[in-house]
Amino acid sequence: MSGILFLRTGDLERTAAFYIARLDCRRWLDQPGCVILRHDNFLFGLCARERPQTDVLLTFFYDTPAEVDRLYARHRDTADGPPRLNETYRIYQFFARDPEGRGLEFQHFADPVAQFRSGDDLLATRRSVREFAPDPVPDDVIERIIESCRFAPSAWNRQPQCYRIIRDPETLRYLAASRQEATAPIGRAPAAVAVSVDTTVSPYPAVDGAIAAYHFLLAAWFYGLGTCWMGNMDAPEIKARLGLPPGHFLATVTPLGYPKERAAPPPARKPFAAFLRG
C-alpha cells in the first residue's frame, strides 16, 4: 500500500517546475488540474486552486550528510541557516521554503532507520559491504529477510533453497580464512548466511542458488544491512563445517551486518546504449 499527500497550489506549473528542478522530483502522474510528483517513494500532488495551501512542512530525507549539504547549496536563498545536527532527534537538517511559502525540511538520520527504499532505489543503490559495525543483527530482522526470500523464483517452482544463519565466532573465523583475503569480510561481520540448494530437488542448482542468494542480498539491503557475494564456496570441507547435507550446492556464504559507514554513491555506469549491444 502507498499514499499520496495532496496540496493546493495557486501556480501549478511554476510550483511543479520548482520541485522537479530543485529537488529532483519526477512527474508520476498528470491529472486534470493536478500533478502528482514522486521523490523516491514519497508521492505528493499539487492541485490548482485559487489559494495555495502553505501551512504544511514537507520533509525529504537522504542517505548521507553530503546529500543534505548538496541540497543546501541549491536552497541557500531561502534556508534558515546551514545544516546542523539536531541532538534531540539525531538528525542532520536544515529548513527552507518553496516559491509559495511552504516549509521544506531536508534531513539525514544519524542512526540506522527501518526499511524505506522504493524498488528502483533498492536496485540502483545496493552495494557490496566489507566493513561492518559490531552491532548484532536482530533475529526478527533476519526472519523478515528470509520471509521475503521465500518468494525467490526457482526452476519449476521447486523451492530448493536453504538459508543457514551463522553467528558462532569460531565458525565465522573459519569461513573468513577459507579463501584468505577474498572471504576476510566474514570475520568482520557479526553474522553470516549460507545460501545452499538441494541438488536432489533442483534441476539447475547453480542457477537456483544464484537467484536465491541475490534475492537475499537485495532483501538485506532493504532492511539496511550490508552483504557481499563470496564465490567458490562449494567445497566439501566448508559444507561439512556448516553441517549441510552432502547433496547441497553451496551458492555463497555472505557476511551480514550493519555497514560500518554509509555506502558511497554508486560508481558511474556505462551508457544505456552499451547494455543493448548484441
CATH number of the domain within which 11 lies: 3.10.180.10
Closest by CA to 208, choosing from 251, 253, 145, 148, is 251
Give the model's pLDDT for residue 271: 87
- Is position 198 within any domain? yes
Q: What is the pLDDT of residue 95?
A: 98
C-beta separation of 260 from 225 below 8 A: no
Residue 61 falls inside a structural domain = yes
Is 227 within the bounds of a domain? yes
Instruction: Give the residue from 39, 47, 40, 41 showing the smallest Cα distance to 20.
Output: 39
Domain identity same for 146 and 208: yes
Is residue 269 included in any domain, yes or no?
no
- Cell 550446492 locates to 249
Of 109, 136, 158, which residue is a domain's last?
109
Q: What are the pLDDT tens digits along the chain (278 aa)?
A: 579 999 999 999 999 999 999 999 999 999 999 999 999 889 999 999 999 999 999 999 988 898 999 999 999 999 999 999 999 999 999 999 999 999 999 999 988 776 667 777 778 888 899 999 999 999 999 999 999 999 999 999 999 999 999 999 999 999 999 998 999 999 999 999 999 999 999 999 999 999 999 999 999 998 889 999 999 999 999 999 999 998 999 999 999 999 988 777 778 888 888 888 76
How many whole angstroms separate alpha carbon 59 and alpha carbon 111?
17
Angle CA(147)–CA(140)–CA(87) in degrees, nearest 5? Answer: 125
Same-domain check for residues 79 and 131: no
What is the per-residue pLDDT for 99? Answer: 96
Query: For residue 270, is it within any domain?
Result: no
Torsion of CA 52, 58, 65, 123, to 10 degrees: -110
Number of separate domains in the chain: 2
User: For position 121, what pLDDT does the model report?
Assistant: 74
Provide the pLDDT for residue 278.
Answer: 60
Judgement on whether residues 100 and 131 belong to the same structural domain of the protein: no
CA–CA separation, 168 vs 241, rounded Å?
Answer: 12
Do both 53 and 148 map to the same domain?
Answer: no
CATH code of residue 246: 3.40.109.10
Q: Tally the residues of the chain.
A: 278
Pair (125, 183) in one structural domain: yes
3-class secondary structure per residue, the chain? CCCEEEEEECCHHHHHHHHHHHHCCEEEEEECCEEEEEECCEEEEEEECCCCCCCCEEEEEECCHHHHHHHHHHHCCCCCCCCEEECCCCEEEEEEECCCCCEEEEEEECCCCCCCCCHHHHHHHCCECCCECCCCCCHHHHHHHHHHHCCCCCHHHCCCEEEEEECCHHHHHHHHHCCHHHHHHHHHCCEEEEEEEECCCCCCHHHHHHHHHHHHHHHHHHCCCEECCCCCCCCHHHHHHHCCCCCEEEEEEEEEECECCCCCCCCCCCCHHHHHCC
pTM comes to: 0.73
Structural domain for 46, as ranges: 4-109
Residue 11, sorted as left (phi over 0), alpha (psi -120 to 50) or beta, turns out to be beta
156 and 208 within one domain: yes
CA gap 170, 50 in Å, rounded? 69
- Indicate if 88 and 167 belong to the same structural domain: no
